[in-house]
A = this chain, B = another copy of it.
Amino acid sequence: MARARRARVLALTLRAVALTAAAVPLLAAAAAAQAPVSAPPIDAHSQGSLTASINLAWVLVGGFLVMFMQVGFAMLETGFTRSKNAVNTMAMNLMIYPIGIIGFWMTGYALMMGGVAQWPSLGATGIASHEMSLSLGGHTFGLLGARKFALLSVSHDPASLAMFLFALVFMDTAATIPTGAMAERWKFSAFFIYGLFMSMFLYPLYGNWVWGGGWLAQLGVNFALGHGHVDFAGSSVVHMTGGVTALAGAMVLGPRIGKFRRDGAIGALPGHNLPMAIVGTLILAFGWFGFNAGSTLAASDPRIGLIAANTMLASAAGAVTALLYLWHRYNKPDVAMACNGLLGGLVAITAPCAFVTPAAAVLIGAIAGLLVVAAVLALERRFRIDDPVGAVAVHGVCGTWGALALGLFADGSYGEGWNGVSGPVRGLLFGDAGQFVAQLVGVAVNLLVVFGLAMAFFVIIERTIGNRVPAEVEWTGLDALEMGSDAYPNV
């Protein structure tokens, strides 16, 4: 085809052109409308507020999609656990949402985001904020926010309220992860208190350090480590925090009865509804688009196209490598592990999704798919940790990998000015070793601090009300004795 024609013919193929028709007349009508329609509100908007509007809508829709991931987690975890505990597993996934909302509303949001004065993409400026920080050797290190408790000081600010919603559903994702690793033996009262601890304090702490302007974000300006610890949508902030807390919880709880036998054999204890778990996986993949693409906080940032495509590509690569590897090794296509591979790919791409090319996304996801298999096997066989749904492997291990992958593959095409450091974000392979170090530091701090605090919390609970149901409850099932409801009473 000749160039001129091609430009024309193909463009025509695209339907987008059909819009001309639609747009022009609308305009014409708008201009020509003689009806003394008293000024509709639409003319009152400035260009700036229109952009803020579409960004606000984007953040909200993204937040809704992330909230919907609760359904995915609920189905995944319940499908992978036994029917005698189905109500309990569902109930934890259901209730972590409201418990987390109340906790995050009361203190969590304030501690995490109380030092953030503005959300420029949402058109808001100058909210009173306060960050508790430390000054050392001429540097300032943010430690924790200290304003906006119970949203009182921002109760009519749309940007803050949308950010509350968006930050909350991310927190809830982190908070729901341990319910998988600790399923089938966790006391509901202990879980309830955990929900408050996570939403009111633990998640907001690390969240502040990376996303609330805290000291990990400041590693760049303070120590010239790249742009400081960068995590686009939460490989470390959300998934590592959830996975590391899950690890501490599973260690304190100990394995389910029958998991690790005296003779060294490992019990399978299969879940009760694999189709439910598969549906949950697909729902998570759906909601993840909000997770990652929503994290621009701006539909006006065209990077959302790259982010969404990368998210999809990494998930696919993870699912395919996990499936093929186990198919090759055990001669059966293990669907449950393909689910974990898909999720591992998603977790891993979460931090780097905006900074890497599609080809790198495929590579990151493919590695995550293998990692998750290795981690599931190692945790069970080598470390003898009982994690019924593989939450530690998927979220903890692949979250770590994702945060590091950003430090390797960020290609310098995005992130200008991120965390107050000029220039785009570059990984080790693109010339910035400091960025990789910042990623390492962030990951190490998560492992140390989050793990340490979670462990301290679970130990305190252990010594007070106890974390674990009595053995007879576990034998009979938590549904009957702990929850007082059967999952499937009259089938």
Contacts and interface: CB of A to CB of B under 8 A. Distances in A.
Nearest to A114: B29
A278 B91 contact: yes
Contacts of A276: 275
B334 A121 contact: no
Contacts of A188: 333
Contact of A94 (B51, B97, B158, B282): B282
Interface residues of A, number: 203
A180 interface: no
A165 B94 CA distance: 30
A129 to B, nearest CB: 6
A451 interface: no
Most interface-central of A9, A30, A152, A227 (chain B CB within 10 A): A30
Interface stretch (A239-247, A437-445, A480-488): A480-488
> Which of A35, A218, A305 is the most central at the interface, judged by chain B CB atoms within 10 Å of its CB?
A305
Contacts of A56: 299, 302, 304-305
B37 A121 contact: no
A491 interface: yes
B101 A67 contact: no
A182 to B, nearest CB: 16
Interface string A422-436: 111000000000000
A120 B44 contact: no
Contact of A488 (B41, B274, B316, B414): B274
Nearest to A319: B98
A252 interface: no
Given A50-B300, A71-B279, A158-B303, A11 B25 contact: no
A99 interface: yes
B305 A159 contact: yes
Contacts of A51: 41-43, 45, 50, 53
Interface in A380-429: 412-424
A420 B101 CA distance: 36
28 contacts: A10-B131, A10-B213, A12-B418, A16-B122, A18-B301, A19-B300, A19-B417, A20-B417, A22-B22, A23-B227, A26-B420, A29-B416, A30-B218, A31-B420, A35-B125, A40-B125, A42-B121, A42-B123, A45-B51, A52-B302, A64-B286, A68-B286, A83-B491, A94-B282, A95-B319, A98-B342, A164-B309, A271-B490
B313 A15 contact: no
A357 B156 contact: yes
Contacts of A16: 40-41, 119-122, 296-298, 300-303
A415 B18 contact: yes
A354 interface: yes
A371 interface: no
Contacts of A306: 155-156, 158, 161
A273 B412 CA distance: 51
B60 A274 contact: no
A484 B64 CA distance: 36
Given A19-B26, A98-B338, 20 more contacts: A10-B213, A14-B297, A18-B415, A22-B41, A23-B49, A23-B420, A25-B120, A29-B117, A30-B115, A30-B213, A40-B121, A41-B121, A41-B300, A45-B47, A74-B275, A91-B335, A94-B339, A98-B317, A165-B308, A333-B484
